[in-house]
């Protein structure tokens, strides 16, 4: 095989057994890599109903056929497991040197099973793999942990690690890498923690096998130069993802006060322009010539790397309009390994529930110092932090009193920083995202507000959501490459098809990727349905408050407007038709057959009747 190595490691932490295994090209062609590999492995190897924080859950760390090779933005990998936050399929995409080092060590993926009896880290150096004691780093934050490993192995190794939040199994703890990267929002950090696994350290020295090395090198280097040029022309790196904050505020889609409001007069204080002026360092993933990680100094003098989602959820949504304080909250999340989006959303839900009189407490919107204290308590699961560590869905189930309506999540995963109380297409994107409410699969909002009528629930919006999901899922999350050169700089998708073909020696077309993408999306849905056999379309709905007329903005450009329930129903029906799923949102038997998922359909039928 070329592009892929054809090797993977199965590491059992319970009996400390490491097996080097091989897989064939048919598997690779059918699932490509990254998310495709992860869902197929988890579908085949996990019994439905297992405890996601038990030894029977498995953590998959997967690369793709172009991960790590010299081509635009290929320093990314996928982490996946059954999610302790949602109970469904969970994954995340992380920029990491592990993407390069693991490929050079000769592996395409890791399957990590069981549970170590004491804190452990995995050290991989080409063919040499060892499980070692993590006693000295257990209890440390991610920055100190990274430093500890750099001191031991040098700065060129790839490292994935967790902080105290993962160790203490906070349900939205992430895996961290390099100085500013984080991924695996639906509790992938907690899965590592539940296995007593503090870190994975990788060093590789082999050549990455590609079908046409000279040609690949040429087009890869040209691609990197092209991205650099496009970035210079567009000026995108100046503000990175944070450039969108001012726009969201302008179009009334900013999360403010647990998404009860859609804009704020104070938003300018935390926008991308202000951030860029305070920049002290820039971070990026490996093989990236458009680095987007902007770091500023926080209140305590730490360097904090900020993205739009972080500022939206830890800033405006908590009504904290002080950039230095938002940076502190961001830094704390990074150090403890908490997901900034779910942490921000859970805190704002907590403040809202107190404000509504549903529970007692002294946390108020705008209180940055108390928010810092709460984040520390969440990471250590102390006092009220233990309650907030469960995420907003479970909190709302316990609080009751109608609070589910304003717990801003879908399928248990908190909404990222787009307030869709009057943005139907983006609401559908959140509703149907395959891990819960994440923007990453169909960031339709910019297209929707610029190219379509905002109040339309027409089929064109469902079509665009499916189109974006297919591209992101089948191409970027499988190959694996960062999608931002395409989204932000307009890099042509054909380049990625070319990189894949030159790396593997195959001759795929874009259509081939879209077919694989459909297969993956339907299998991910099947995974959820197998876990929740009472599946219904209600699970694809955003929170009730977005349909509640009493929650409409009183002033501004969307005053009096709100999502309409019946029309959202219709939009969802269009979506199911395009995906060839039934009216419950379950893939039809014929659809699974056409996607070459016959065996999977037979397995699924043991849990639910297929139409």
* Binding-site ranges for ligand PTT (CB under 6 A): 76, 92-95, 174, 180-185, 241, 285, 305, 307-310, 333-334, 338-341, 440, 476-477, 480, 482-484
Which among 110, 94, 34 has a CA at the least distance from the CA of 476? Answer: 34
Q: Find the shortest distance in angstroms from Cβ 406 to ligand PTT.
A: 22
Binding partner of 291, given ligand SF4, ligand PTT, none, CB within 5-8 angstroms per partner class:
ligand SF4
Q: Find the shortest distance in angstroms from Cβ 180 to ligand PTT.
A: 5
Contact positions with ligand SF4 (CB under 6 A) in 587-606: none
What is the three-state SS of 106-144? CCCEEEEECCCCCCEEEEEECCEEEEEECCCCCCCCHHH
Contact positions with ligand SF4 (CB under 6 A) in 459-498: 482, 484
Q: Find the shortest distance in angstroms from Cβ 487 to ligand SF4.
A: 9
Which residue lies nearer to ligand PTT by CB, 92 or 220?
92
Q: Find the shortest distance in angstroms from Cβ 291 to ligand SF4.
A: 4
For the sheet with 293-297, list strands across it. Answer: 281-283, 293-297, 303-306
Which residue lies nearer to ligand PTT by CB, 346 or 403?
346
Q: How many residues bind ligand SF4 (CB under 6 A)?
A: 11
Which residue lies nearer to ligand PTT by CB, 341 or 586?
341
Which residue lies nearer to ligand SF4 by CB, 286 or 431?
286
Does residue number 293 form part of the binding site for ligand SF4 (CB under 6 A)?
yes
Does residue number 183 form part of the binding site for ligand SF4 (CB under 6 A)?
no
Say if residue 457 is exposed, middle or buried (CB neighbours under 10 Å; 0-12, 13-18, 19+): buried
Binding partner of 387, given ligand SF4, ligand PTT, none, CB within 5-8 angstroms per partner class:
none
With CB under 6 A as the contact rule, which of the stretches 193-201, 287-295, 514-522, 556-564 interacts with ligand SF4? Answer: 287-295
Which residue lies nearer to ligand PTT by CB, 256 or 292?
292
524-561 residues labelled b (16+ CB within 10 A) or e (exposed): bbbbbbbbbeebebebbbbbebbbeeebebeeeebeeb
Pairing of strands 120-125, 128-133: antiparallel
Comparing every residue's Cβ against ligand PTT, the nearest one is 92
With CB under 6 A as the contact rule, which of the stretches 58-66, 281-289, 504-512, 530-538 interacts with ligand SF4? Answer: 281-289
Does residue number 284 form part of the binding site for ligand SF4 (CB under 6 A)?
yes
The H helix count followed by the E strand count for the chain is: 26, 17
Residues near 352 by Cβ (< 8 Å), separated by ≥ 6?
257, 258, 260, 406
Q: Find the shortest distance in angstroms from Cβ 74 to ligand SF4.
A: 8
Q: Find the shortest distance in angstroms from Cβ 175 to ligand PTT.
A: 8
Q: What angle do CA 501, 444, 570 make, to 5 degrees?
A: 115
Pairing of strands 59-62, 128-133: unpaired
User: How far is Cα 470 from Cα 489, in angstroms, rounded to an integer?
Assistant: 19
Could you tell me where the beta strands, DSSP code E, fall in 428-511?
A: none
CB 323 within 8 Å of CB 272? no
Q: Find the shortest distance in angstroms from Cβ 76 to ligand SF4.
A: 7
User: How far is Cα 160 from Cα 454, in angstroms, rounded to an integer?
Assistant: 41
Contact positions with ligand SF4 (CB under 6 A) in 92-121: 95
User: How far is Cα 510 from Cα 520, in angstroms, rounded to an integer?
Assistant: 15
Dihedral class, residue 32 (left if φ above 0, else alpha if ψ from -120 to 50, else beta): left
Contact positions with ligand SF4 (CB under 6 A) in 68-87: 73
Binding partner of 305, given ligand PTT, ligand SF4, none, CB within 5-8 angstroms per partner class:
ligand PTT
CB atoms within 10 A of CB 451: 10
User: Which residues in this chain contact ligand SF4 in the complex, by CB under 6 A?
Assistant: 73, 95, 284-285, 288, 290-293, 482, 484
């Amino acid at each position: 095989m070329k592009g892929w190595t054809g090797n993977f490691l199965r590491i059992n932490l319970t009996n400390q057994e490491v097996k080097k295994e091989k897989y064939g090209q048919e598997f690779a062609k059918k699932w490509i890599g990254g998310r495709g590999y992860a869902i197929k492995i988890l579908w085949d190897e996990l019994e439905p109903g297992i405890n996601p924080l038990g030894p029977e859950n498995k953590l998959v760390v997967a690369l793709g056929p172009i991960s790590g090779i010299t081509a635009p933005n290929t320093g990314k990998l996928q982490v996946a497991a059954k999610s302790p936050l949602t109970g469904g399929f969970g994954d995340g995409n992380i920029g990491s040197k592990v993407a390069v080092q693991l490929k050079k060590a000769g592996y395409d993926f890791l399957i990590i099973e069981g549970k170590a009896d004491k804190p452990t880290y995995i050290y991989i150096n080409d063919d040499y793999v060892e499980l070692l004691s993590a006693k000295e780093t257990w209890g440390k934050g991610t920055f100190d942990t990274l430093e500890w490993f750099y001191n031991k192995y040098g700065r060129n190794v790839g490292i994935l690690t967790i902080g105290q939040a993962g160790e203490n199994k906070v349900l939205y703890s992430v895996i961290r890498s390099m100085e500013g990267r984080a991924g695996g929002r639906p509790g992938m950090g907690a899965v590592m923690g539940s296995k007593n696994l503090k870190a994975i350290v990788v060093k590789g020295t082999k050549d990455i096998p590609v079908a046409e090395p000279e040609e690949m090198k040429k087009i890869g280097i040209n691609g990197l130069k092209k991205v650099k040029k496009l970035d210079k022309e567009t000026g995108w790196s100046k503000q990175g993802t944070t450039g969108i904050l001012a726009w969201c505020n302008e179009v009334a889609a900013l999360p403010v006060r647990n998404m009860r409001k859609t804009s704020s007069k104070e938003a300018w204080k935390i926008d991308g322009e202000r951030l860029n002026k305070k920049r002290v360092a820039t971070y990026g993933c490996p093989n990236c010539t458009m680095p987007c990680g902007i770091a500023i100094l926080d209140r305590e003098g730490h360097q904090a790397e900020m993205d739009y989602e972080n500022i939206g959820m830890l800033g405006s949504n908590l009504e904290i309009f002080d950039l230095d304080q938002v940076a502190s909250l961001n830094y704390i999340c990074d150090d403890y390994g908490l997901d900034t989006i779910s942490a921000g959303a859970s805190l704002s839900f907590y403040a809202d529930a107190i404000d509504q009189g549903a529970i007692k407490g002294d946390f108020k919107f705008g209180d940055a110092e108390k928010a810092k204290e709460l984040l520390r308590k969440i990471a250590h699961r102390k006092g009220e932090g233990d309650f907030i560590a469960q995420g907003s869905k479970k909190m709302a189930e316990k609080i009751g009193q109608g609070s589910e309506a304003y717990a801003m999540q879908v399928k248990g995963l908190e909404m990222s920083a787009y307030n869709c109380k009057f943005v139907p297409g983006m609401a559908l994107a959140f509703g149907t995202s395959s891990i819960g409410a994440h923007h990453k699969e169909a960031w339709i909002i910019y297209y929707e507000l610029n190219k379509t009528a905002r109040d339309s629930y027409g089929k064109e919006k469902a079509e665009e959501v499916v189109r974006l999901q297919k591209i992101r899922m089948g191409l970027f999350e499988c190959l694996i490459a960062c999608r931002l050169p395409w989204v932000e700089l307009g890099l042509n998708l054909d380049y990625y098809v070319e990189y894949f073909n030159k790396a593997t020696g195959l001759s795929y077309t874009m259509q081939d990727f879209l077919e694989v993408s459909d297969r993956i999306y339907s299998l991910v849905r099947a995974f959820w349905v197998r876990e929740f056999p009472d599946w219904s379309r209600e699970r694809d709905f955003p929170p009730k408050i977005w349909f509640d007329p009493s929650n409409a903005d009183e002033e501004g450009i969307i005053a009096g407007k709100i999502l309409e329930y019946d029309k959202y129903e219709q939009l969802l029906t269009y979506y199911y038709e395009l995906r060839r799923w039934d009216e419950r949102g379950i893939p039809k038997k014929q659809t699974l057959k056409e996607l070459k998922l016959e065996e999977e359909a037979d397995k699924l039928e043991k849990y639910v009747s297929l139409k």
